[in-house]
Amino acid sequence: MHNDDRLVVVKRCDGYETAEVDRAVEELFAALHAEELVGPGKRVAIKPNLLMRRRPDEATTTHPAVVAAVVKALRRRGVTDLLIAESPSGQYTKARLKSIYDGCGMTAMAEELKVALNLDLGVTQTSAPDARMCREFPILDPILQADVVVDVAKLKTHMMTTLSGCVKNLFGCVPGLLKPELHCRFPDQEDFAGMLIDLCDLVRPSLSICDGIVAMEGNGPSGGSPRPLSALIASRSPYAADVAACALIGLPPKQVAMLREAMGRGLCPSSLEELTIEGDPIESLMQPDFQKAANQGTDFLMRVPKVFRGPVKALLTPKPHIRVKDCIGCGRCAESCPQHTIRIVDKKAVIAYSDCIKCYCCHEMCPVKAIDIRRFRLFDL
């Protein structure tokens, strides 16, 4: 790793008031010498996390105040060609994009700042020649056409990937329902992690910022609970930013499969001690009691003999469970299921567990949080 990629800047920010967020983000940009990366004549794409239509205070999506502060910081450095681009889960259509921009507070912010929200549905199949797991990805055209990608993630725990931060956020560069195809191609957690690193290495964001002012704990990325962390994290490296994010929530980075994979490729430091931390003392912001997602235990499986790992994993891996009384029969879960194991029967969702790969896409996409993740009962005693 280059020395610049080991620098992480952490700023305390206790809320989403405009002046406080603007100040903190400007200090992040200044500490990272962002003017070396962006400036007049550069085409810049901002990639937030807009997983689904959720209010900003639900902590599922990047807060519009953070995105607004990034827009202002870029403009202060002479950037005029600027676009906010994202592909949420579900269908990739203009109507859905507009609905999610509206619901997540991005439309109002964009109108106030006169910044463009991407509605171009163009996608290009793109080669990843240095990839180890996935050598080709469908990528949003505005991401490919940008000179600089600024990754603006939301800090959340995640049912499948353990952490949703700057690396995982780039999965949104793949359009809509093509994401479940990748889930289906790489159902194993380690293989999926390798695919995410291939994607991150292809997109190569120049700046990565993580919104942890209010994070999500528990069964994220959409079914958890908001948890104030009062932190903004930034780095030129999405991997370094995620290692710092792990430290904030008491999560050893080696428990995150995609960070383990990045470490193995020499892209990622193995611990906080290998980073250069500037800004506010990170120790003052750490919350080790931060609730993790239910799907843990990868390290345990690594100690199980290979011949037994398949059956043990099948037994121990939590399963999605639909609370029938709360299901509204909207079909979002069925639409997002890569294996097509979910049907709507009598206006209620039904899962065929024999084909379920436990990717938890259904859990992510349920608009009313009617899908729980249930562990093997022995571990609930």
Q: pLDDT for 189-198, tens place per residue?
A: 899 999 999 9
pLDDT bracket for residue 360 (50, 70, 90): confident
DSSP 291: P
For residue 135, what are the β-bridge partners? none
CB-side exposure of 315: number of CA atoms within 13 Å? Answer: 9
Mean pLDDT, residues 14-38 taken together: 98
How far is 256 from 161, CA to CA, in rounded Å? 7
Of the ranges 203-212, 242-251, 273-282, 297-306, which one carries the lowest mean pLDDT score? 297-306
Cα–Cα nearest to 298, from 135, 158, 156? 158
pLDDT bracket for residue 275 (50, 70, 90): very high
Mean pLDDT, residues 323-335 taken together: 94
Two structure tokens written together for 90: 């579900």
pLDDT of residue 296: 52
Contacting residues for 298 by C-beta, under 8 A, at least 6 apart: 162, 189, 255, 257
pTM over 0.85: yes
Pairing of strands 43-48, 148-158: parallel
Class of domain 3-285: alpha beta
Q: Which residues of 333-369 are buried (b: 16+ CB within 10 A; e: fewer)?
A: bbbbbbbebbeeeeebbebeeeebbbbbbbbbbbeee
Mind listing the pLDDT tens digit for each residue in 340-352? 999 999 999 999 9
Mean pLDDT, residues 158-173 taken together: 96
Pick the CATH number of 298-380 from 3.30.70.20, 3.30.2320.50, 3.20.20.80, 2.40.50.140: 3.30.70.20
* pLDDT over threshold 50, residue 378: no
Whole-number Cα distances in Å, 19 to 66, 72, 188, 243: 11, 12, 44, 28
Contact present, 91 and 177 (Cβ < 8 Å):
yes
Start and end residues for every CATH 3.30.70.20 domain found in the chain: 298-380
